[in-house]
Amino acid sequence: MTDPTDPGPSPWARRSRIAGSWAVWVVVALGGALIAVALFGRISAPIGPFDTTLAFRPVGGGAQVAVPPLGALAVDVYDGPLRLEIGLQRVDQERARALASDPVRLAGVVNEVTDDLRGAVVRLAWTTAGLAIGGAVLASLVVYRRRWREPLLAAGITTVLLVGTAGIGAATWRPEALSQPKYTGLLVNANSLIGSAEDIAARFDAYRASLEDLVKNVGSLYATLSALPAPGGMTDTVALLHISDLHLNPAGFDLVRQVVDQFKVDAVLDTGDITDWGSAPENRLITSVGTFGVPYVYIRGNHDSATTAALVAAQPRTTVLDDSAVTVAGIEIIGAPDPLFTPDKSTGADDASDDVLVDSGQRLADFAGTLDAPPAIALVHDPKEAGPLDGVVPLVLAGHKHTRDVSIMDGGTRLMVEGSTGGAGLRGLQGEEPTPLTCTVLYLSPDTGELRAYDEITLGGLGETEVTIQRTVVPLAVTGREEGATGGGSAPASPTG
């Protein structure tokens, strides 16, 4: 029996009990929503040529794009409790090929990617909202059993939280932050490689518009050969392709593949810097050297690590020279790696004197002296290694300078420095002047290994569309600068049949 004099619970106690109940409801609803979103809140969507996954994660606002294995970039584009995470899974080869072969689609790729991304984010938002509300209701049913009021409250609480989150994101939207991404992993080097987003935006538009034509027009070079002098009057020669400083430019690899096919090259000679930093993620991009269909002879450049060299050596039909020799198509070739590895600042490579390079060249010259006959070609990366080889071998091939140069040294050895077959890589987008893609086809006597002629192939860099080929016929005796007979031609960057 109730005591009529008992005043009952105080107003503060009632308020505390109601506040506690609401707190429990919010915790249950929020916990169920977060669990559901964390377990199932991910969708897959095609964005341009990429297959991607998208998800909202309760780790703060902004957006993050993961580019495995290179790292990620984050953009502080909005505030709030949810961060948009986009992961690039792979490139769909069919969509990428269709994009590259259709100039109309290529010109509109930015709009296509934007539309795809917008549609994917909208679908993700609805999916996340549905999962959050469903998770909150399910958690409330588990906790409160057969009661129906709490699940409805959980759904309402979750809806209010979602609307509030969207409102915060819309109110704090900062599109200007897109030009100031933060990089992690290998992408930390992105600014030093290609400059700021504002600097290269206009350049990339031009590069995108002309790249396809540049690569396709290698085909027109083959027709140009008919107007050039024959290689020293010889009908039978060994053709070797000299490349250098690819720096991971896919267009450079495409150029090599087309020249190998169309010029009937017998082997490829690479004088180094196939990568930029010598890191393991980069190494995944160089396995195509085993797909060219001809022997591939390589020496390590100052941007290539020992790991890079080992991966190249593991590819089919490849040889990595390290003060060693190999014979391809009857031509004996020796080579030595660059003794420096400049990406590793702990080695003091930046402060090393030229003596280190000269010593490397001397070791290779000493090795040549142990062979039964002088080799036909020596491969070095830095031209400073070539001095001790003067008079020891008739032809030294080098790179490193990103500028083509041919000269005759005092002892009669011809030094041929290649430009950059990769157009200096991504850094070619940064300079005021475009860096062209270059390579050289060497024609040698199959009997003596003597150089009889060479074709210098040049593809215009960013914003340039001309493809040129220059043939030099080497006289039997040369002194000073190259004085052979020459002929050449050029092809505009227009599609060829």
DSSP secondary structure letters along 93-119 = HHHHHHHHH-HHHHHTHHHHHHHHHHH
User: For residue 199, what pLDDT is reported?
Assistant: 47
**Backbone φ/ψ region at 233: left (φ over 0), alpha (ψ -120 to 50), beta:** left
Of the candidates 233, 292, 283, which has an alpha carbon nearest to the alpha carbon of residue 443?
233
Number of domains in the chain: 2
Does the pLDDT of residue 70 top 80, yes or no?
A: no
**Does some domain include residue 200?**
no
Same domain? For 172 and 234 the reply is no
CA atoms within 13 A of residue 203's CA, in its CB half-sphere: 19
**Domain endpoint, select from 139, 174, 191:** 191
Does the pLDDT of residue 416 top 50, yes or no?
A: yes
Compute the distance between CA of residue 250 and CA of residue 265 in angstroms, rounded to an integer. 20
Tell me the pLDDT band of 87, cut-offs 50, 70 and 90: confident
Same domain? For 186 and 300 the reply is no
Compute the distance between CA of residue 174 and CA of residue 35 in angstroms, rounded to an integer. 29
Does the pLDDT of residue 342 top 80, yes or no?
A: no
User: For residue 155, what pLDDT is reported?
Assistant: 80
Give the percent of the chain with pLDDT over 90. 30
User: For residue 314, what pLDDT is reported?
Assistant: 94
Same domain? For 235 and 184 the reply is no
Compute the distance between CA of residue 296 and CA of residue 240 in angstroms, rounded to an integer. 10
Domain of 306? 228-343+352-491
pLDDT in tens, 368-403: 999 999 999 999 999 999 999 999 999 999 999 999
**Does some domain include residue 418?**
yes
**Does some domain include residue 497?**
no
Same domain? For 97 and 233 the reply is no
Contact between residue 300 and residue 381 where contact means Cβ atoms under 8 Å apart:
yes
Tell me the pLDDT band of 461, cut-offs 50, 70 and 90: low
Mean pLDDT across the chain:
77
Compute the distance between CA of residue 493 and CA of residue 171 in angstroms, rounded to an integer. 48
Which residue has tokens 């290179």? 70
**Does some domain include residue 10?**
no
User: For residue 479, what pLDDT is reported?
Assistant: 40
pLDDT in tens, 88-102: 777 666 666 666 555
Does the pLDDT of residue 81 top 80, yes or no?
A: yes
Does the pLDDT of residue 277 top 50, yes or no?
A: yes
CATH, residue 486:
3.60.21.10
Q: Give the C-alpha distances (Å, rounded to integers) separating 39 from 44, 80, 140, 167, 393.
A: 14, 20, 18, 25, 66
Same domain? For 325 and 425 the reply is yes
Q: Give the neighbor-by-neighbor strand order of the sheet with 83-91.
A: 42-47, 50-57, 83-91, 63-67, 71-75, 182-185
Of the candidates 401, 424, 419, 350, which has an alpha carbon nearest to the alpha carbon of residue 194?
424
Does the pLDDT of residue 457 top 50, yes or no?
A: yes
**Does some domain include residue 439?**
yes
Higher-confidence position of 422 and 19: 422
**Does some domain include residue 2?**
no
**Domain endpoint, select from 134, 167, 191:** 191
Higher-confidence position of 62 and 494: 62
Task: Output the pTM of the full model.
Answer: 0.57
**Does some domain include residue 219?**
no
Same domain? For 175 and 254 the reply is no
Of the candidates 303, 366, 331, 308, which has an alpha carbon nearest to the alpha carbon of residue 448?
331
Same domain? For 183 and 238 the reply is no
User: For residue 495, what pLDDT is reported?
Assistant: 31
User: For residue 68, what pLDDT is reported?
Assistant: 62
Q: Give the C-alpha distances (Å, rounded to integers) separating 351 from 303, 337, 344, 348, 399.
A: 15, 18, 12, 5, 20
pLDDT in tens, 296-313: 999 999 988 888 899 999
Read off the pLDDT of each residue in 57-61 and give the average, rounded to a whole number: 82
Beta bridge partners of 470: 456, 488
User: For residue 209, what pLDDT is reported?
Assistant: 43
Residue 393 CB-density burial (10 A; 0-12 exposed, 13-18 middle, 19+ buried): buried
Same domain? For 297 and 152 the reply is no
Higher-confidence position of 175 and 158: 158
Does the pLDDT of residue 338 top 80, yes or no?
A: yes
User: For residue 61, what pLDDT is reported?
Assistant: 82
Give the percent of the chain with pLDDT over 70. 66
**Does some domain include residue 214?**
no
Rounded to the nearest 5°, which phi and psi values hold at 318? -110, 150
Same domain? For 235 and 92 the reply is no
